[in-house]
Structure 1
């Protein structure tokens, strides 16, 4: 499952004046704040698309619309001549903030998308991707705080009363961040075992006993660690669906490492022993073959056929159970985000 990228920046402010002529400082402040409200709405459309759309094209289109919204508002604010009666400090700070947002959403986003393309190849790559994503969001949050401070400083300077009350839009954006963070925490527990299981499957395909044993041991360790960490994660409100889905996957991987992997190793070791016996017998002439060797080989033929049948049944059952659990986890994750990230 792809993890979600979320950008949040907004001003939690409301003003009473709506005029765009700057006869009073409140008119000037309101004009700039309204432009930032437009950006907040574009931000929300992007967040909502990430949460509710499976179309990569639609998500990227809303990101481009967000960038255009920033560029449009930045131009309007830049076109203000002489700030408010020559006081251009707040105007300059706002433009700097919008420059920062545009640069990060364009340039840093592209870097993160490139990282996302390889993130699912290893746990380290996934962790690096998530850290880079969170760093961008942290920087945006920090710059947003500076923008709010600049807003409040201007208001205080000109004795403007500001109602710093959380708006419905800002509440939605904040809630979305919390939902994505909760999902990511559980996704990492799941992913660490899932990527190890993928490596285990590749080792089984190669019949690499060393790699099978190594990945089997790692899978057991990560599953047990994940189950312990899972005990510390509380339900999201009254919803425990993500925790339960993750727990079932971790319990399966633990069982797979403890029960399935030893069976696979035993089968390959027996098969290797059989192939060696077969090769040894084939390299001998009929007169050099002893009755004991022939009887032993014939018994191994019967045994290997039985082992192959058991191996195929074990593989099929393991695959079906795993596939069902993975589908359930992915569906649960998608439903969780769709349910708690408000729609537009």
Structure 2
């Protein structure tokens, strides 16, 4: 699963060129220049998350982004008195960069640790995604504070600003929309996929009560997911991910309704055969009645046929399940690669 970018920086452009660092415009552009450098590093990280399968490359870009932020903090921090003693904007930017650096280091590690256990339960996955989104919300909030301080400084010194977003900030904004869309559908898919994994464990353990419980839950979650998908519009006329998710839910529901009952029948028949076998083996040949022997011999003939049928059924279900999971993963990766802008 792809991780949503943990940094969003929007940039505005100053509508004039500074001639002298002693002017407020020169001061503003000095700080803005460092922000533009960070925006480029931010985009490299975003692009790596969206288009690379190399964890090493992604982490390398994250570390480079941290280094870029640290360098910008050093340069901006060197302006001790800001602009003629006015340090409010400078301090707000440094505070924002401090927050970004902390989240790209400390919070990043926490979220990676949560991601490692997220696959263990739906609640853990939901908690991981919630924690990730909360970090993004905090970063957005801090970014807005820095932007407000930027505008306030410009207004204070009568500097005209263009509120048009840079190309990079537009790319980052689009990327976050794509990741959000992907996450919404991934959660729907993950819920049924995880429930199916529990169902498979129950079948492996021949736990009829757990099988029934997970079968009913699988049907319920599949139905709930299918209703949710109806409310999700295609992203930029691309319905590929909703279509793939819908097909996956239909497969899981069909499996629960048709494959599971046949599996339960086989488990019960196998238990019946094993009980008859134990009963017969516990008696000496003289103690065995003709009815018991005939019944057992009949079960032996039937069990071989049932095993063959069940093995074919299981093999087909395994192939269908593997194809369903693979199709969703490929569709999800393709969706992100298609819609997240390239460098």
Band of TM-score, shorter chain: over 0.9
Q: Distance in 1 between matches of 2:19 and 2:293?
A: 99
Q: Distance in 1 between matches of 2:106 and 2:32?
A: 25
Q: Distance in 1 between matches of 2:10 and 2:303?
A: 70
Q: Does 1:47 align with 2:46?
A: yes
Q: Distance in 1 between matches of 2:340 and 2:179?
A: 9
Are 1:11 and 1:37, in contact at CA under 8 Å, matched by a contact in 2?
no
Q: Distance in 2 between matches of 1:53 and 1:330?
A: 14
**Could you tell me which residue of structure 2 aligns to residue 195 of structure 1?**
194
Q: Which runs of 5+ in 1 are unaligned?
A: none
Q: Distance in 2 between matches of 1:78 and 1:86?
A: 13
Deviation at 1:18, TM superposition (A): 4.6
Are 1:10 and 1:37, in contact at CA under 8 Å, matched by a contact in 2?
no
SS in 2 for 1:287: coil
Map residues 43-82 of structure 1 onto 2, 5 A cutoff. 43-82=42-81
SS in 1 for 2:164: coil
SS in 2 for 1:218: helix
Q: Distance in 1 between matches of 2:96 and 2:230?
A: 41
**Could you tell me which residue of structure 2 aligns to residue 159 of structure 1?**
158
**Could you tell me which residue of structure 2 aligns to residue 208 of structure 1?**
207
**Could you tell me which residue of structure 2 aligns to residue 223 of structure 1?**
222
SS in 1 for 2:286: helix
SS in 2 for 1:286: coil
Deviation at 1:198, TM superposition (A): 1.1
Are 1:176 and 1:340, in contact at CA under 8 Å, matched by a contact in 2?
yes
Task: Using structure 1 for the length normalisation, give the TM-score.
Answer: 0.97
**Could you tell me which residue of structure 2 aligns to residue 274 of structure 1?**
273
Q: Distance in 2 between matches of 1:123 and 1:115?
A: 13
Aligned length: 343
Detail structure 1 runs of 4+ shifted over 4 Å in the superposition: 17-21
Deviation at 1:129, TM superposition (A): 0.2
**Could you tell me which residue of structure 2 aligns to residue 22 of structure 1?**
21
Q: Structure 1 residues 336, 17: CA separation in 2 closer, same or farther (over 3 Å shift)?
A: same
Instruction: Provide the aligned C-alpha RMSD in A.
Output: 1.1
Q: Distance in 2 between matches of 1:104 and 1:193?
A: 32
Q: Distance in 2 between matches of 1:255 and 1:20?
A: 71
Q: Which runs of 5+ in 2 are unaligned?
A: none
SS in 2 for 1:185: helix
Which deviates more, 49-58 or 98-107? 98-107
Are 2:206 and 2:267, in contact at CA under 8 Å, matched by a contact in 1?
yes
Q: Distance in 2 between matches of 1:197 and 1:331?
A: 20
Q: Does 1:290 align with 2:280?
A: no
Q: Structure 1 residues 73, 267: CA separation in 2 closer, same or farther (over 3 Å shift)?
A: same
Map residues 69-218 of structure 1 onto 2, 5 A cutoff. 69-218=68-217
Deviation at 1:19, TM superposition (A): 4.2
Q: Distance in 2 between matches of 1:270 and 1:24?
A: 88
Are 2:178 and 2:340, in contact at CA under 8 Å, matched by a contact in 1?
yes
Q: Distance in 2 between matches of 1:199 and 1:112?
A: 25
